[in-house]
Each structure stands twice: as C-alpha cells, then as structure tokens.
C-alpha cells in the first residue's frame, strides 16, 4: 500500500480498523477469502487527495456460492435463538461501534469524502439503529383476532425470511447497511452485504468489528456476511431464489434492474432509489430557518445524499430576498479536505461525478437556465488529487429536462412560483422521484395543506425542517421512481419477515367458516 501521501493519523486509523494493503473478496465472520489467482483486484483511491488507500480482491461467482452456503447453515442456528438473545448480540455490536466511532468515522470521511462531522454522524446512525433494534427484538408483535367459529382462536405471527441481500451505495457506505442488517438480524435473518465497489474498506472495517462480537459469543460464521464484487455479483444476488429479500440502495436505473430480476422469481425487493427533493419557501416562511436548511441540504455531503435538496421553490414575493442571501453565503463556503473540521464541503466521489456535475450545468444553461454562482472545478494548492467543485446556484424552470433528473452533485435550482401553496405543491410533485420534501412556513393552513392527501407525494414530508438528515426512528423511503421501500424505524422490521395467520380449534367439532355445511 502506498503511504507517501497518507497522514500518520490516517495510517493509524487503517491499522486500528485492520485495513491491510490487500483485502479479501468476502468474509463470513471469522473466515475471509484468501488470495486466488482467478480473482481480479481493484485499487481504492481517496477522493480527498487521490491517494491509494488499499487494494481489494473482487469476488468470483465461486466465492458468492460459498458465502450463500455458509449463510444458509448459519440461518438454521440463528433463527432458533430467541429474539431477545439476538437483540443482545446486536447490543454488543452497538457498543463495539461506540468504541470504534472515531477511527471508523475518519475512514468514512477519507474513503467517501463527506466531512468528518458527517462521518461521525454516519457511525452514530449505526449505533442508534442498534439501540432501536435491541428494543425491537422484544416487540415483534402479531395480532389476535376473534374467530367467527366457537372455541377457535386466531392470531398472526412473524417468522424470519432467511438470507437478506443488502446492496448499498457509496454515499452512505455503512449506515444503510446497518439499517437493514441490525433489524434483519433481530428478526432472525442472516445477511449478505455487497457494498459499493467505490467504498469497500469501510464495509471491511464494519465486518471485522462484527466478527469480533460473533467470535466472543461463540456464534457460527455466516450470520453477517460481506462480499465485494461488481455488478455481476449484484445481478446474481437479484436472480438468486436462495435470497428471498434483496434490499438495494442506488440509482433508479439500478433499482429497476434489481426489481425486475427479483420480481421475475416472485421474490421481495426493498428499493431505496433516487430523489429529486425540493424545499418550498412560502411568503410566510421564516427566512433564517429556511436558508440554513437549504444550504445544508444542498451542499452537505457535496450534494451526494439521496435526500439532498436539489430544487428550491420560492414564492415570488420572497424570491429576490432568498436569492440574494444565498448569493452571499455560497462564496463563503469553506471547501477542502473533509478531515479538516473548518471545511463544510468535501469532494465528489470520483472524476465521473465531476463530469456529471459539469455536464448538468452545461445542459441547464442550454435549456435556458442561468448559472448564478459556483460551478467551478477546483485545482491547485489544497485540492491536489481530489475531486473538488464549488456548489452551484442555477435559476431554472421545473420543466427543464435536467431539472427533472437527479444529478448527484451540489447543484441547487432556484425556481420562482406564483399563486398559493397548492400551486407550489403541484410544481413540487411534477417530477418522477418522490423521496424527501419540505415546506417552510409559519402559516398552519399551508403546513397542513402540504401534509394532506393533495400535498407532497413523497415518502418524507417535513415542515420547517430541511429535506436532509432523517432520524432512524421513522421509516425511511419514498414513492414513484424512488422505489416504494421503507427502512430503519417505525414498523419497517416487518419487511424482513414472513407473516403467518394461525387458527387453533380447541373444540371437538369442525365448524366451517361462513357457516358452510359439508356433512359426510
């Protein structure tokens, strides 16, 4: 591994988390894949400074089958443990993540590029979902029903599905895995995690942390599994009948392929796909709150959150005021090394993302949009080897083709609207994605209209809170091209289980439902 440009601090982080120069293609807990001449490798470079962090082996089809077999064996043991005991294992995982929070947060930042505070926040999300899952392990409730037949009892209960496939994206390299894996685990399932090939090292670190806990509790390998591979491995998982549920996070294009493959075999898919999120600022908004939420939503994670704010719908009476405030703030945003806590904006993930950023801005202007500020690719001192850009503000119209698309970059489209809140909502909903949404207003009628049946069509709708930064207690997900999945809190645990209705006859008769007579 090249270490010439790594700081001593970062090298210590890698050592602490057990990241070596060459990392295995898969891990089933205590056992990891060894070097194999048939495997290809991939170099992992940091978007912060372009440094080579490590090299990973890419899994083969044979590796995949080996992981599946190990997971199937582990499921037979894990599903028989009482749910509260499974919760105890997850509790220990949460505590171990607390111990590693700082180095793991730094690795998230260095490998993915989000600022250090966001890196720490992502690890905290894993800790929080562990705590949530521990409580959930004692609340896997079913319902009881009154039977129409005498001396009969009816109830429903939930059983684990088996192997849960988890395909995660680079922008949240560990948190979304934890949302799925910890809830699936307390429900009695085993997991196979395919992380983004752009950010596999944070996944390896998490797998090592979990493996410590499993080993200390004398549990079999195969409960939590990791496989590092390209789209071929993801496709194989989607087509595999041995994986009853595939949870996939990523682009709408990717999600459609996964959903089609899983649906063709009548499996289940949990899809968390693209967002084209908007904030509505009405004439009754508190401008200070609206501006703060807008800036964080638009430039946080360098615009690479699925909940990033991409459209700002501003009432005509407030448009000039809001625009001028943003034009003053954007040039002051500190951009640079995300491990330096004075910086608020880190790099894009790679050069392809930079190209998408430039192409989107060019297309917006070709369609009639006006670039107000930003849009530059940064180079020179302080930016060497990194993928740094200046967040952009663009005056646009909602119907522009590029505005209708999700660009994973810090571009905020300013769109003026006339009329009342219903006009704003109609514009807001006129995109194919439906993940997160927000309105800023001090008028309760506008707020309730936004949350009503004729209001936001998104899975998340906020009042006086931005589009980005969801808590784990609520179900996370969206509608339309966002896929319809729900993860994390509320009753999202049910997606990882199969529902069974049970009827018990404790009489000596055999009455039929609906009063049917069938005497023989």
How far is residue 278 from each of residues 42, 306, 467, measured CA to CA in Å? 37, 12, 7
Percentage of the residues of the chain whose pLDDT score is greater than 70: 97
Same domain, residue pair 114 and 182: yes
Which residues, 6 or more positions from 442, have their beta carbon under 8 angstroms from its beta carbon?
284, 285, 286
pLDDT beyond 70 at 308 = yes
pLDDT digit string (tens) for 201-215? 999 999 999 999 999
pLDDT beyond 90 at 79 = yes
Nearest to 470, CA basis, from 516, 503, 437, 440: 437
Q: CATH number, domain at 75?
A: 3.40.605.10
Same domain, residue pair 204 and 296: no
pLDDT digit string (tens) for 41-76? 999 999 999 999 999 999 999 999 999 999 999 999
Distance CA 45, CA 39 (A): 19
**Tokens matching residue 377:** 């690719």
Same domain, residue pair 322 and 286: yes
Mean pLDDT value of segment 157-171: 98
C-beta separation of 98 from 127 below 8 A: yes
pLDDT beyond 90 at 158 = yes
Note the pLDDT of residue 3: 36
Mean pLDDT value of segment 210-223: 96
pLDDT beyond 80 at 32 = no
C-beta separation of 262 from 164 below 8 A: no
Note the pLDDT of residue 1: 33
Average pLDDT, the chain: 95
Three-state secondary structure readout of 194-237: ECCCCCHHHHHHHHHHHHHHHHHCCCCCCCEEEECCCHHHHHHH
Dihedral angle computed from the Cα positions of residues 148, 153, 154 and 158, in that order, rounded to the nearest 10 degrees: 180
Mean pLDDT value of segment 226-251: 97
Same domain, residue pair 48 and 121: yes
Distance CA 3, CA 53 (A): 8
**Tokens matching residue 256:** 């459609």
Residue 505 in any domain: the answer is no
Q: How many CB atoms lie within 10 A of CB 269?
A: 21
- Tell me if residue 212 is catalytic: no
Same domain, residue pair 241 and 158: yes
Residue 319 in any domain: the answer is yes
Q: CATH number, domain at 462?
A: 3.40.309.10
Residue 234 in any domain: the answer is yes
pLDDT beyond 80 at 425 = yes
Same domain, residue pair 110 and 232: yes
- Tell me if residue 118 is catalytic: no
Note the pLDDT of residue 352: 97
Residue 507 in any domain: the answer is no
Note the pLDDT of residue 75: 98
C-beta separation of 5 from 49 below 8 A: yes
Same domain, residue pair 207 and 223: yes
Give me the domain span that covers residue 420.
277-476
Same domain, residue pair 252 and 137: yes
pLDDT beyond 50 at 2 = no
Number of domains in the chain: 2
pLDDT digit string (tens) for 372-410? 999 999 999 989 999 999 999 999 999 999 999 999 999
> What are the φ and ψ backbone dihedral angles of 399, each rounded to 5 degrees?
-80, -5
Annotated active-site residue in 206, 306, 406, 446: 306
Distance CA 421, CA 419 (A): 7
Distance CA 263, CA 70 (A): 25
Same domain, residue pair 349 and 216: no
Q: How many CA atoms lie within 13 A of 455 on its CB side?
A: 20
Same domain, residue pair 303 and 427: yes
Mean pLDDT value of segment 253-274: 97
pLDDT digit string (tens) for 435-467? 999 999 999 999 999 999 999 999 999 999 999
Note the pLDDT of residue 20: 86
Annotated active-site residue in 272, 406, 446, 487: 272
Dihedral angle computed from the Cα positions of residues 78, 82, 84 and 90, in that order, rounded to the nearest 10 degrees: -10
pLDDT beyond 60 at 34 = no
Helix locations, 81-191, DSSP H: 83-99, 101-112, 116-136, 175-186
Mean pLDDT value of segment 106-130: 97
Note the pLDDT of residue 37: 54
């Amino acid at each position: 591994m090249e270490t010439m440009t790594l700081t001593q601090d970062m090298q210590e982080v890698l050592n602490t988390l057990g990241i070596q120069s060459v990392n295995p293609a898969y891990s089933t807990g205590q056992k990891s894949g060894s070097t194999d001449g048939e495997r290809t490798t991939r170099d992992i470079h940091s978007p912060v400074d372009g440094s080579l962090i490590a090299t990973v082996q890419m899994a083969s089809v044979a590796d995949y089958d080996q992981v599946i077999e190990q997971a199937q064996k582990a499921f037979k043991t894990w599903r028989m443990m009482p749910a509260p005991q499974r919760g105890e294992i997850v509790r220990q995982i949460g505590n171990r993540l607390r111990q590693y929070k700082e180095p793991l947060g730094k690795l998230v930042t260095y490998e993915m590029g989000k600022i250090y505070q966001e890196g720490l926040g992502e690890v905290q999300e894993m800790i929080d979902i562990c705590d949530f899952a521990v409580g959930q392990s004692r609340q896997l409730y079913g319902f009881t029903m009154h039977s129409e037949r005498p001396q009969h009892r009816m109830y429903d209960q939930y059983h684990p599905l088996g192997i849960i496939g988890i395909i995660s994206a680079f922008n949240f390299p560990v948190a979304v895995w934890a949302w799925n894996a910890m809830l699936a685990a307390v429900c009695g399932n085993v997991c196979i995690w395919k992380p983004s090939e752009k950010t596999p090292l944070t996944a390896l670190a998490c797998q090592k942390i979990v493996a410590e806990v499993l080993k200390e509790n004398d549990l079999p390998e195969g409960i939590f599994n990791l496989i590092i591979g390209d789209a071929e491995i993801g496709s194989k998982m989607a087509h595999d009948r041995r994986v009853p549920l595939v949870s996939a996070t990523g682009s709408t294009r990717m999600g459609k392929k996964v959903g089609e493959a899983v649906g063709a075999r009548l499996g289940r898919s949990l899809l968390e796909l693209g967002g084209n999120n908007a904030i509505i600022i009405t004439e009754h908004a508190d401008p200070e709150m609206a501006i703060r939420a807008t800036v964080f939503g638009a430039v946080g994670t360098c615009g690479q959150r699925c909940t990033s704010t991409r459209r700002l719908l501003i009432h005509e009476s407030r448009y000039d005021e809001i625009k001028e405030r943003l034009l003053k703030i954007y040039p002051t945003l500190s951009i640079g090394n995300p491990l330096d806590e004075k910086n608020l904006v880190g790099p894009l993930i790679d050069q392809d993302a930079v190209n998408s950023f430039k192409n989107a801005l060019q297309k917006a202007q070709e369609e009639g949009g006006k670039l107000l500020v930003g849009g530059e690719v940064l180079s020179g001192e302080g930016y060497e080897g990194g993928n740094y850009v200046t967040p952009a503000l663009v005056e646009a119209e909602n119907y522009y083709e590029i505005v209708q698309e999700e660009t994973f970059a810090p571009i905020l489209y300013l769109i003026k609207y006339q009329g009342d809140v219903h006009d704003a909502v109609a514009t807001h909903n006129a995109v194919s994605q439906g993940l997160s949404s927000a309105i800023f207003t001090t008028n309760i009628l506008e707020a309730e209209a936004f949350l009503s049946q004729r209001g936001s069509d998104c899975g998340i709708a906020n009042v006086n809170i931005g589009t980005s930064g969801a808590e784990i207690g609520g179900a996370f997900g969206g509608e339309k091209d966002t896929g319809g999945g729900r993860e994390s809190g509320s009753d999202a645990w049910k997606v990882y289980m199969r529902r069974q209705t049970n009827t018990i006859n404790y009489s000596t008769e055999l009455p039929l439902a609906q009063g049917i007579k069938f005497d023989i």
